[in-house]
Amino acid sequence: MYTFSFEKLEVWQNSRIFILEIYKLTSKFPSNELFGLTSQIKRSSVSIATNIAEGTSRNTKNDRAHFLTISYSSAMETLNHLIISKDLNYISDVDYKESREKIEKICNQINSLKKFYLSQQ
């Protein structure tokens, strides 16, 4: 089976693991949030990895960097949802801290990859 370039990226791999953790975390949310915050945080976390993958298929460095910007924005959206989830006591302080640290790492990796793409000739 062929491995696509995005699958080799550590940032995509970390984002994929993060999605699984978000799904586990949100399974504990109240059922009345199913179509609200639960749906929003799942979609924004999936968008992080999706835009990394989509960006790798683009032909120009600016297009690749653009999709990484969108991915970074999705990470910030996810962080916002985590903050709200913590405020509503849907997640513990420990879960919030661990998730925030993972987002920070992913964001640093996104920024590094974006700089790499933009530095290419």
What is the spatial distance between Cα 110 and Cα 14, in angstroms, rounded to a whole number? 11
**Domain of 67, in residue numbers:** 8-119
Alpha-carbon span 70 to 47, nearest angstrom: 8
Q: Is residue 16 part of a domain?
A: yes
- Report yes or no on 1 lying in a domain: no
CB-based burial, 1-12: b 16+ in 10 Å, e otherwise:
eeeeebeebebb
- 116 pLDDT tier (thresholds 50, 70, 90): very high
Name residue, tokens 């993060």: 18
- Residue 81 inside a domain? The answer is yes
Nearest to 85 by CA among 44, 30, 46: 30
Residue 57, domain member (yes or no): yes
In a domain, 2, yes or no: no
Query: What pLDDT score was predicted for residue 121?
Result: 64
Question: pLDDT digit string (tens) for 21-33?
Answer: 999 999 999 999 8
Q: What is the pLDDT of residue 8?
A: 97
- What is the pLDDT averaged over residues 31-38? 91
Residue 25 forms part of a structural domain: yes
Q: Is 85 within a domain?
A: yes
In this predicted model, what pLDDT tens digit does every residue of 49-107 receive, in sequence order? Answer: 999 999 999 999 999 999 999 999 999 999 999 999 999 999 999 999 999 999 999 99
- State the sign of the Cα–Cα–Cα–Cα dihedral 109, 43, 31, 83: positive
CB 120 within 8 A of CB 61: yes
Query: What 8-state DSSP symbol labels residue 89?
Result: T
CATH of the domain at 26: 1.20.1440.60
Q: For the chain, what is the domain count?
A: 1
> What DSSP string runs through 4-67?
-HHHH-HHHHHHHHHHHHHHHHHTTS-GGGTTTHHHHHHHHHHHHHHHHHHHHT-SSHHHHHHH
Give domain status of residue 3, yes or no: no
At residue 34, the pLDDT reads 84
